[in-house]
Amino acid sequence: MSDGRLLRAAVLALLVAAAALIAARARYTADLSAFLPQAPTATQRLLVEQLREGPAARILIAALGGGEAPERARVSAALAQELRAQGTFASISNGDAASLERDRRFLFAHRYLLSPSVVAQRFTVAGLHAAIADSIESLASPEGPLVKPLFPQDPTGELLGILDGFGAERAPRTSAGVWASRDGAEALLMIETRASGSDTDAQERAVHAVQGAFAHACAPPGASCGLTLTLSGPPVFAVTSRALITREVVRLSGLSAALITLLLLFAYRSVSALFLGLLPVAAGALAGVAAVAAGFGTVHGITLGFGVTLIGEAVDYSIYLFLQAGSPGAADFRARLWPTLRLGALTSIVGFAALLPSDFPGLAQLGLYSVAGLAAAAAVTRFVLPDWIPRRLALRDLSSLGRQLLRGVHALRRLKPALLLVLIAAVAVILLHHGPRLSRELAALSPVPLAEQDLDERLRTDLGAPDVRYMVIVPAASAESALAASAAVAQRLSPLLADGTLSGIEAPSRYLPPAAAQRQRLAALPDAETLRARLAEALAGLAVRPGVLEPFIADVAAARTAVPLRREDLAGTSFASAVDALLVRTGGSYSALLPLSAASGDLPAQAIGRVQSLLAGNAEHAQLLDLKGETDRLYGSYLRQALVLAAAGLAAVTALLAFALRCVRRLGRVLLPLLLAVLAVAAALIACGHELTILHLVGLLLVVAVGSNYALFFDRLALASAHASPERTVSSILIANLATVIAFGVLATARVPLLSDLGSAVAPGTLLALLFAAALSAPERPGPR
Amino acid sequence: MRLPAALLLLVLPTIAAAAAPGGDFDALMQLLATRHQGHVPYTEVHEMAMLQEPLRSSGELFYQAPDHLEKRTLTPRAESLVLDHGVLTARRGTRTHVLELAAYPQIVPFVESIRATLAGDRAALEHHFQVGFSGDLAHWTLELTPRDPAVAGTVQRITLEGTRDAIQTVTIRQSDGDRSVVSIGPEIPP
């Protein structure tokens, strides 16, 4: 072994050890949330954070189906009790009377702190008279039965006032004493985990805990029940997505590795060549993972899925090496093959590098993984493989295949005019469909099946907790000032409630008024003597029997000594999680969230305009956020960025090729088939009714980056001096192309849209690039035999 | 905090119907079933232990077969309660409460007592109440006692009195002794 070989082997061993170390220490995740875009604006950051960490991301919905209503109610109660005992859940709500009663008692006990109508004027003689007269009228009205038992303690109707302020949210239907779906066929529970929504391990444990508790509640020892448990909600989606991604990545890697191994065995008929050929791939994968781990800290499962594609491209290098190098001598390889291979690898690397600046973490990871992986694979092919090729490597003779292929290439060249038809057809399809329809919704990338998304929406609607689309966000420096701002903004928007533009404004201050407001209310309460004297006067003309209102005087006297409620005081009521959901801490600052709802569902444009005009120039810096719109805008900005990056990548590839080939004709022969392939694939996707996603766009860029290799080797075929034999060259091109098409084709079968979109663009694209490149190639000259 | 549960008591007053033949409870039911709509004035007197004087209110009742019921209170203050296709809407001043009847099984018997009586639906009536019929078609009395114990805790008995197919009074006796009597006047011509 020469010194040079020894040195190269040592350097390789060192690099492999270092990469293995980094890869082994990297954090791996398959959480889709880690793949969410990093948002550029503060509101969008808050939005993404809410999507990942917010209370909405911690809510599990459990639906108990089958059996009879009383049985479902029993299991619902038993399930709730068991989960409450576990302590890993922040709250479990199933609509049982006890919880509702607890909430009602809490509101009643603290009504003088919570009711916005508690002001000094209310407790004057005139104020008392008006409020009590109003309550007496309501005794005979719809609220009569509710008002009657409260009247002696609450003749001014503060509890009803508070409840009224809560608006007309639709409560879930109750069946046999617990929440039920609208059709009554399922009992429903809302379960909030303590763990954050982005902690998928904890969410997985929570899902298992609910399933275990259900099995326990459903079948006490010696018995069993015919009920079924359906779980939904973001935690379930996170857990199942992660499992799906992991499963898919393993399946796809295994499948494409197996198929490519078969292909190589067919091509080489040599096990040692097969293993040597997989060496650049292994090195590339290791380098890719190490680079992503070093660059991002966390390697996403999806990135490993994209890595499947690396197998397809990196394996090409050794195919060229084994099948084209006339003799296995290293010098021959370096002189004849390496310049073309290097240019091919460089164009691919330049293409993938265009993804590096992307703000979409997935694309940036894909870019870095591929750049590092391809560089490593090319370097191993160049510096290591030639040393290791056995002197007598008996490979299959592909000359006869090559001759047939060359005949095929000749036939394709005669079909060159047909490419014009392809061009016209593709352009016509694109124009007929008014250009590519770009998918504007982030949801298009979700691996959660549509049926499960629909089920989730139905359960949420049944629970009276539909996905909120519009909310006002109020930033503040402290929790207290956020509550104060929340109250001010809710007040500012209240005219829209009165005129019916809005049907509800949620606000954290509704459940936990700012301390200053609570103190003001306490200060408005008169002492017992004053109140008794004013009451005596106020009751003149009202039919209330003397002495009936003594409990009222006692309650007001007791309330005067109360202290303002804090968040902790809400513990045990359903208002605690409401406040946590609406008052969020982001870093060191707070935001109050005020979800808006309209009777018609979505807010009409006119309502949005009115909200915005009421918020214009407000002192609280509140702004209206359209959650869905904002998410889609966010996605749209990444889509636009991807377009720019793809264009930049194309320009860079073109510049590189122009620089390397230094001939317009040759450049045209290399570039035209690639552009034509991109157009044809885009047209085919559009014609099949696909909305193009960000991954389709990236896929089209990769058609150019990866497809350039084949075009370059056809270009080389025309150079007499540079190749061993046209038969071998054309065989190697075909085998290399098949490897790539297999890898991306397998990816296209993924059940994760991020992966399948990419595969379905690149697999046909690279195949077409090969065919078009063959058709446009210049006639080859016979090489030295 | 289920405010709408409060609605149960006001759905009760009913509506007179026009003449038809008959002789007993079944005949009364058949008689009532032939009417498809009604529009009558009413006065209501609420007697409550807490108040020295009863509360009085008046307004109009409107029925359209099979499941549209309205109670429009005109004095002392305008308010309305509408049952339509199983959805109850209560309006009082600027406040509106909407609830789906199906979501509140505890209210269903109260609405059914009226709807089923007006529709002559004996099966539905007997599903929710123990029904006592006395008198004859010329002057009959229906005594409805809620079967659901949760409802019986609030309402002891609902008594409907009428002459032939005209309901004249609806008396609701509550478990705490309070009482409301709705007196129904003659049909208002369209």
Please state the φ and ψ torsions of residue B134, each to the nearest 5 degrees. Answer: -140, 165
pLDDT band at B9 (very low <50, low <70, confident <90, very high): very low
For residue A747, give Cα distances in angstroms to A27, A31, A238, A308.
24, 19, 22, 7
Nearest CA-CA distance, residue B69 and chain A, Å: 15
Mean pLDDT score, A272-294: 89
Strands (E), A169-320: 173-175, 178-180, 186-193, 228-232, 298-300
Locate A759 and state its tokens.
């595969």
In this predicted model, what pLDDT tens digit does every residue of A26-57 receive, in sequence order? 777 776 666 666 666 766 666 667 666 777 78
DSSP element (H, E) containing B62 = strand B55-64
Picking from B2, B55, B90, the nearest residue to A100 by CB comes out as B2
Report, as an integer, the average pLDDT of A500-504.
Answer: 82
Buried b (16+ CB within 10 A) or exposed e, A154-187: bbbbbbbbbbbbeebebbbbbbbbbbbbbebebb
Question: Model confidence over A229-280: pLDDT tens digits?
Answer: 999 988 898 888 888 888 888 899 889 889 999 998 988 888 888 888 888 9
Q: Taking CB atoms and an 8 Å limit, are B1 and A107 in contact across chains?
A: yes
CB contact under 8 A, A142 and B90: yes
Q: Is A100 on the interface with B (CB under 8 A)?
A: yes
The tens digit of pLDDT for each residue in A618-653 reads 777 888 888 778 777 877 888 888 889 999 999 999
Nearest chain A alpha carbon to B151: A145
Chain B partners within 8 Å of A548 (Cβ): 50
Cβ pair B55:A136 closer than 8 A? yes
Which of A111, A146, A181, A463 to mutate against chain B (most B CBs within 10 Å)?
A: A146
Q: Which of B3, B52, B173 to mutate to test the interface with A (most CBs of A within 10 A)?
A: B3
Residue in chain B lying closest to A102 (CA): B1
Q: CA nearest A351: which of A758, A656, A637, A640?
A: A656
The dihedral formed by the CA atoms of A518, A519, A522 and A527, expressed in degrees to the nearest 10:
180
In a domain, residue A517? The reply is no
Looking at chain A, which residue has its C-alpha nearest residue B182?
A140
**A175 interfacial to chain B (CB closer than 8 Å):** yes
Cβ distance of A141 and B44 shorter than 8 Å: no
Mean pLDDT rounded to a whole number for chain A: 85
What percent of chain A is predicted at pLDDT more than 90? 32
**Across the interface, do B48 and A548 touch by the CB < 8 Å criterion?**
no
Distances (CA, A) of A427 to A648, A654, A687, A693, A705: 22, 22, 11, 19, 22
Contacts of B102 in chain A (CB under 8 A): 173, 182, 184
Q: Which pLDDT does position B18 carry in this prediction?
A: 31
Q: Which position has the higher pLDDT, B131 or A224?
A: B131
A42-53 and A627-661 helices cross at what angle (nearest 10)?
A: 110
In a domain, A427, yes or no: yes
At the topology level, CATH places domain B3-184 in outer membrane lipoprotein receptor (LolB), chain A (2.50.20)
Give the distance from residue B118's alpha carbon to the nearest chain A alpha carbon, in angstroms: 21
Partner-chain contact B52 A137, CB within 8 Å: no
What confidence score (pLDDT) does residue A678 get? 95
Asked if the structure places residue A506 within a domain, the reply is no
- Which region among A346-350, B76-80, B110-114, B162-166 has the lowest average model confidence (pLDDT)? B110-114
Q: What residues of chain A lie within 8 A of the CB of B104, using their CB?
A: 174
* The pLDDT value given to residue B8: 32
Q: Does residue A769 belong to any structural domain of this protein?
A: yes
Residues A554-577 have pLDDT tens digits of 999 999 999 999 999 998 888 888
pLDDT at A746: 93
pLDDT score of A533 more than 90: yes
Q: Please tell me which of the candidates B55, B77, B154 has its beta carbon nearest to residue A139.
A: B55
Rounded to a whole number, what is the distance in Å from the CA of A618 to chain B's nearest CA?
27
B187 to chain A, closest Cα gap in Å: 24
Is the Cβ pair A545, B50 closer than 8 Å? yes
Q: Are A354 and A649 in contact (CB under 8 A)?
A: yes
Question: Quick one: how far is CA A675 from the chain centroid?
Answer: 32
Q: What is the mean pLDDT of residues B15-38?
A: 67
Q: Is the pLDDT of residue A547 over 80?
A: yes
Residue among B6, B49, B76 whose CB faces A142 most closely: B6
| Cβ count within 10 A of residue A610 | 18
Whether residue A320 contacts residue A713, with contact meaning beta carbons closer than 8 Å, is answered with yes
- Smallest CA–CA distance, residue A570 to chain B, in Å, is 16
pLDDT of residue B15 exceeding 60:
no
The average confidence (pLDDT) of chain B is: 77
Q: How far is B34 from chain A (nearest CA, A)?
A: 30
**Interchain CB contact of A148 with B (< 8 Å):** yes
For the four alpha carbons of A615, A620, A621 and A627, in that order, the dihedral sign comes to negative
Does the N-terminal peptide bond of residue A466 adopt cis geometry, omega within 30 degrees of 0?
no
Tokens of A570: 């809400």
> Does the pLDDT value for residue B21 go beyond 50?
no
Give the pLDDT of residue A224: 63
pLDDT at B10: 34
Which stretch of A13-17, A779-783, B138-142 has the lowest confidence by average pLDDT?
A779-783
All residues of chain A having their beta carbon less than 8 Å from the beta carbon of residue B50 are 148, 151-152, 544-545, 548
Q: What pLDDT was estimated at residue A438?
A: 74
Say yes or no: A103 contacts chain B, CB-CB below 8 A.
Answer: yes
Burial of A455 (0-12, 13-18, 19+ CB in 10 A): middle
Q: Which residue has the higher pLDDT, A103 or B22?
A: A103
Higher pLDDT, A618 or B47: B47
Q: Above 80 in pLDDT, residue A594?
A: yes
Tell me if A168 and B180 make a contact (CB, 8 A cut-off).
Answer: no
Q: Are residues B48 and A160, on separate chains, in Cβ contact within 8 Å?
A: no
Residues of chain B in contact with residue A131, where contact means CB-CB under 8 angstroms, are: none
Q: Where are the domains of chain B?
A: 3-184
A656-680 b/e (C-beta count within 10 Å ≥ 16 → b): bbeebbeeeebbebbbbbbbbbbbb
Q: Above 90 in pLDDT, residue A122?
A: yes
Are the Cβ atoms of B1 and A142 closer than 8 angstroms?
A: no
ipTM: 0.76
- C-beta separation of A358 from A370 below 8 A: no
A117-134 burial string, b = 16+ CB within 10 Å, else e? Answer: bbeeebbeeebbbebbbe
Contact status of A137 with chain B (Cβ, < 8 Å): yes
Per-residue pLDDT band for A141 (boundaries 50, 70, 90) equals low
Instruction: Centre a 10 Å sphere on the Cβ of residue A262 and count the other Cβ atoms it contains.
Output: 12
Q: What is the pLDDT of residue A505?
A: 86
Read off φ and ψ for residue A512, nearest 5 degrees.
-140, 90
Q: Which residue has the tokens 């044809």?
A: A680
How many structural domains does chain A have? 1
pLDDT-derived band at A158, boundaries 50, 70, 90? very high
**A136–B contact, CB cutoff 8 A:** yes
> What's the average model confidence in pLDDT over A491-498?
88
B3 contacts in chain A (CB < 8 Å): 143, 146, 160, 163
Mean pLDDT of A311-317: 83
| Secondary structure (3-state) at A262 | helix
Kind and range of the H or E run holding A261? helix A234-268
Report the distance separating Cα A137 and Cα A140, nearest Å.
6
How much is the pLDDT for A534?
A: 94
Mean pLDDT over A469-477 rounds to 87
Closest chain B C-alpha to A559 CA, distance in angstroms = 21
List, for residues A509-518, the tens digit of each pLDDT value.
989 999 999 9
> Is pLDDT larger for residue B12 or for residue B76?
B76
